[in-house]
Amino acid sequence: MEPLFPLHWRELAVNQHAVKIDLDREKYANLEKQDMLHVVTVRASFGTNPNKLVGYAIAFLMPHMHYKSSGPMAMTDMYFVLPEFRRGAGLKMFREYERSLRAKGILCAITSCKVHQDHQAFLEALGWTWTDKTFIKLLQ
Protein backbone atom coordinates (compact mmCIF):
# COMPACT_ATOMS: atom_id res chain seq x y z
CA MET A 1 0.00 0.00 0.00
CA GLU A 2 2.92 2.33 0.58
CA PRO A 3 3.35 3.44 -3.05
CA LEU A 4 -0.29 4.58 -3.20
CA PHE A 5 -0.80 5.83 0.34
CA PRO A 6 0.47 9.40 -0.24
CA LEU A 7 -1.96 9.78 -3.17
CA HIS A 8 -4.75 8.30 -1.05
CA TRP A 9 -3.95 10.65 1.85
CA ARG A 10 -3.83 13.76 -0.37
CA GLU A 11 -7.19 12.91 -1.94
CA LEU A 12 -9.13 11.86 1.15
CA ALA A 13 -7.55 12.87 4.44
CA VAL A 14 -9.21 15.68 6.32
CA ASN A 15 -7.29 18.18 8.45
CA GLN A 16 -4.08 17.57 6.51
CA HIS A 17 -2.57 20.72 8.00
CA ALA A 18 -2.74 19.17 11.49
CA VAL A 19 -2.75 15.40 10.92
CA LYS A 20 0.33 14.38 8.94
CA ILE A 21 0.89 11.16 7.07
CA ASP A 22 2.99 8.77 9.19
CA LEU A 23 2.35 5.03 8.76
CA ASP A 24 3.08 2.84 11.78
CA ARG A 25 4.71 0.00 9.83
CA GLU A 26 5.59 -1.87 13.02
CA LYS A 27 1.96 -2.05 14.19
CA TYR A 28 0.78 -3.19 10.77
CA ALA A 29 3.49 -5.88 10.79
CA ASN A 30 2.48 -7.00 14.29
CA LEU A 31 -1.18 -7.23 13.29
CA GLU A 32 -0.19 -9.28 10.26
CA LYS A 33 1.82 -11.68 12.47
CA GLN A 34 -1.27 -12.13 14.66
CA ASP A 35 -3.46 -12.82 11.60
CA MET A 36 -5.45 -9.68 12.43
CA LEU A 37 -4.66 -7.80 9.22
CA HIS A 38 -6.41 -8.54 5.94
CA VAL A 39 -5.17 -6.99 2.69
CA VAL A 40 -6.64 -7.28 -0.80
CA THR A 41 -4.85 -5.60 -3.68
CA VAL A 42 -5.69 -4.73 -7.27
CA ARG A 43 -2.92 -4.90 -9.83
CA ALA A 44 -2.62 -4.07 -13.53
CA SER A 45 -0.04 -4.63 -16.25
CA PHE A 46 1.91 -1.68 -17.64
CA GLY A 47 4.73 -2.15 -20.14
CA THR A 48 7.71 -3.21 -18.06
CA ASN A 49 5.64 -3.45 -14.87
CA PRO A 50 3.35 -6.48 -15.18
CA ASN A 51 2.13 -6.27 -11.60
CA LYS A 52 1.59 -2.57 -10.77
CA LEU A 53 -0.35 -1.89 -7.58
CA VAL A 54 -3.42 0.21 -8.43
CA GLY A 55 -5.60 -0.33 -5.36
CA TYR A 56 -6.04 -1.92 -1.96
CA ALA A 57 -8.57 -2.71 0.75
CA ILE A 58 -7.27 -3.25 4.28
CA ALA A 59 -9.16 -4.48 7.35
CA PHE A 60 -8.48 -5.29 10.97
CA LEU A 61 -9.89 -8.69 11.96
CA MET A 62 -11.00 -9.32 15.53
CA PRO A 63 -14.07 -10.01 17.62
CA HIS A 64 -16.06 -6.83 18.14
CA MET A 65 -15.81 -5.58 21.71
CA HIS A 66 -19.62 -5.48 21.98
CA TYR A 67 -20.32 -8.83 20.29
CA LYS A 68 -17.42 -11.06 21.38
CA SER A 69 -19.29 -14.38 21.02
CA SER A 70 -20.32 -13.60 17.42
CA GLY A 71 -16.82 -14.31 16.16
CA PRO A 72 -14.35 -12.20 14.24
CA MET A 73 -15.48 -9.12 12.37
CA ALA A 74 -13.66 -6.98 9.82
CA MET A 75 -13.25 -3.28 10.46
CA THR A 76 -12.09 -1.62 7.27
CA ASP A 77 -8.99 0.42 7.88
CA MET A 78 -8.95 1.96 4.42
CA TYR A 79 -9.54 1.29 0.75
CA PHE A 80 -8.35 3.10 -2.34
CA VAL A 81 -8.14 2.64 -6.11
CA LEU A 82 -6.24 4.97 -8.41
CA PRO A 83 -8.76 7.25 -10.17
CA GLU A 84 -7.99 5.90 -13.65
CA PHE A 85 -8.93 2.35 -12.48
CA ARG A 86 -12.10 3.09 -10.53
CA ARG A 87 -14.49 2.00 -13.27
CA GLY A 88 -14.49 -1.76 -12.76
CA ALA A 89 -11.42 -2.34 -10.59
CA GLY A 90 -13.09 -1.01 -7.44
CA LEU A 91 -16.06 -3.34 -7.93
CA LYS A 92 -13.79 -6.34 -8.51
CA MET A 93 -11.70 -5.40 -5.49
CA PHE A 94 -14.71 -5.13 -3.16
CA ARG A 95 -16.15 -8.41 -4.40
CA GLU A 96 -12.80 -10.12 -3.72
CA TYR A 97 -12.57 -8.32 -0.37
CA GLU A 98 -15.95 -9.74 0.66
CA ARG A 99 -15.21 -13.21 -0.74
CA SER A 100 -11.86 -13.44 1.03
CA LEU A 101 -13.35 -12.24 4.33
CA ARG A 102 -16.10 -14.87 4.08
CA ALA A 103 -13.41 -17.50 3.42
CA LYS A 104 -11.74 -16.46 6.69
CA GLY A 105 -15.01 -16.96 8.58
CA ILE A 106 -15.72 -13.27 9.11
CA LEU A 107 -19.35 -12.72 10.16
CA CYS A 108 -19.63 -9.00 9.55
CA ALA A 109 -17.61 -6.32 7.76
CA ILE A 110 -17.77 -2.65 8.68
CA THR A 111 -16.62 0.14 6.39
CA SER A 112 -17.04 3.86 5.88
CA CYS A 113 -16.45 6.56 3.30
CA LYS A 114 -15.66 10.25 3.40
CA VAL A 115 -18.47 12.79 3.11
CA HIS A 116 -16.53 14.61 0.39
CA GLN A 117 -16.14 11.37 -1.60
CA ASP A 118 -19.38 9.57 -0.94
CA HIS A 119 -19.44 5.88 -1.89
CA GLN A 120 -22.89 5.22 -0.43
CA ALA A 121 -24.56 4.25 -3.73
CA PHE A 122 -21.65 1.95 -4.65
CA LEU A 123 -21.64 0.22 -1.25
CA GLU A 124 -25.43 -0.12 -1.13
CA ALA A 125 -25.40 -1.65 -4.64
CA LEU A 126 -23.06 -4.30 -3.19
CA GLY A 127 -25.50 -4.97 -0.34
CA TRP A 128 -23.86 -2.91 2.40
CA THR A 129 -26.20 -1.08 4.80
CA TRP A 130 -25.68 2.46 6.05
CA THR A 131 -25.81 2.24 9.85
CA ASP A 132 -23.70 5.00 11.40
CA LYS A 133 -22.43 8.53 10.93
CA THR A 134 -18.90 9.36 12.02
CA PHE A 135 -17.76 12.77 13.25
CA ILE A 136 -14.31 14.24 13.78
CA LYS A 137 -13.16 17.26 15.74
CA LEU A 138 -9.66 18.63 16.12
CA LEU A 139 -9.03 19.18 19.81
CA GLN A 140 -5.85 21.23 19.56
Range of the domain at 78: 5-125
* Highest-pLDDT range among 1-5, 100-104, 133-137: 100-104
Q: What is the pLDDT of residue 49?
A: 77
Q: What is the CATH number of the domain that holds 13?
A: 3.40.630.30
pLDDT at residue 71 tops 80: yes
User: Looking at residues 78-84, what average pLDDT do you find?
Assistant: 94
pLDDT at residue 10 tops 80: yes
Q: What is the pLDDT of residue 126?
A: 95
pLDDT at residue 88 tops 90: no
Structural domains of the chain, count: 1
Between β-strands 37-46 and 49-63, what pairing exists: parallel, antiparallel or unpaired?
A: antiparallel
Please choose, from the candidates 7, 5, 83, the residue with its C-alpha nearest in 3D space to the C-alpha of residue 39: 5
